[in-house]
C-alpha cells in the first residue's frame, strides 16, 4: 500500500469565511482560558513550579504537558478522564 504524503499549508485566519473565523476565534479563546485554568490548578496543587510556564500538546483526550523555563524542560503527562489517573515525571 502506498503511503500518502501530507502537504501542510498555513492559512491566515483573517482569510477564512466569517462563520469559520468566528469558530476559530472562539477556539483560540477557549484554549487560552483552558491553559490558564490548568496552569493555576497545577500550581495550586504543587505539580508546577512557580517560575516555569506551561507547554501543552493534545491528541484526542490525552494531554501532554511540559514545564519550561529557558532551555530546561520538565516533562509530564495528564491523561483523559477515561484513562489512568494523572502522573508527572
CB atoms closer than 10 angstroms to residue 74? 15
Instruction: Find cell 495528564 and name the residue.
Output: 78
pLDDT in tens, the chain (89 residues): 577 787 778 888 889 999 999 999 999 999 899 989 998 998 899 888 888 888 888 888 888 888 887 655 555 555 444 444 444 43
pLDDT of residue 62: 86
pLDDT of residue 63: 83
Cell digits for 44?
A: 495550586
pLDDT of residue 5: 80
**72-78 and 87-88 as β-strands: parallel, antiparallel, unpaired?**
antiparallel
Report field, pTM of the whole predicted structure over 0.85: no
C-alpha closest to that of 22 among 12, 11, 14: 14
Amino acid at each position: 500500500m502506498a503511503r500518502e504524503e501530507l502537504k501542510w499549508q498555513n492559512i491566515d485566519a483573517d482569510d477564512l469565511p466569517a462563520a469559520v473565523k468566528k469558530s476559530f476565534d472562539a477556539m483560540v479563546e477557549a484554549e487560552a482560558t483552558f491553559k490558564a485554568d490548568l496552569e493555576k490548578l497545577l500550581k495550586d496543587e504543587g505539580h508546577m513550579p512557580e517560575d516555569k510556564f506551561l507547554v501543552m500538546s493534545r491528541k484526542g483526550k490525552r494531554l501532554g504537558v511540559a514545564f519550561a523555563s529557558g532551555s530546561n524542560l520538565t516533562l509530564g503527562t495528564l491523561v483523559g478522564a477515561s484513562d489512568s489517573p494523572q502522573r508527572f515525571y
